[in-house]
Amino acid sequence: MLQEDELKDAVLLVFANKQDLPNALSVSELTDKLGLHALRSRTVSNLSRKRSLHQKKEKNKKQARLELFSQSHIISPPQWHIESTCATQGTGLYEGLDWLSQELSKN
């Protein structure tokens, strides 16, 4: 669904609820079931480009930061996050919403 043109800039937050139960899916299992690996590989390729720019030893750090900013905006993959939660205990809920708030404030 996130591959649709209308959703190319969408962010996705998944609450992996019921983590207090013994048969709850782990974050990695849920990632597999939802098929988010394709989105992750696009994100990782973007992050690896950012890291390689950080690792370059440039005399002009301002220029390196400008290149990093430009490079990070060339690829705009759908961003997603899975937060482990237990709604009855309230764990993970605020963390997930904090992530969503930070992602939405970037746009």
Say whether 19 counts as a known binding-site residue: yes
Say whether 59 counts as a known binding-site residue: no
The CA distance from 46 to 31, in Å, is 19
Say whether 9 counts as a known binding-site residue: no
The CA distance from 107 to 105, in Å, is 5
Q: What is the 3-state secondary structure (H, E, C) of the chain?
A: CCCCHHHCCCEEEEEECCCCCCCCCCHHHHHHHHCCHHHHHHHHHHHHHHHHHHHCCCCCHHHHHHHHHHHHHHCCCCEEEEEECECCCCECHHHHHHHHHHHHHHC
Say whether 18 counts as a known binding-site residue: yes
Binding residues for GTP: 17-20
Binding residues are 17-20
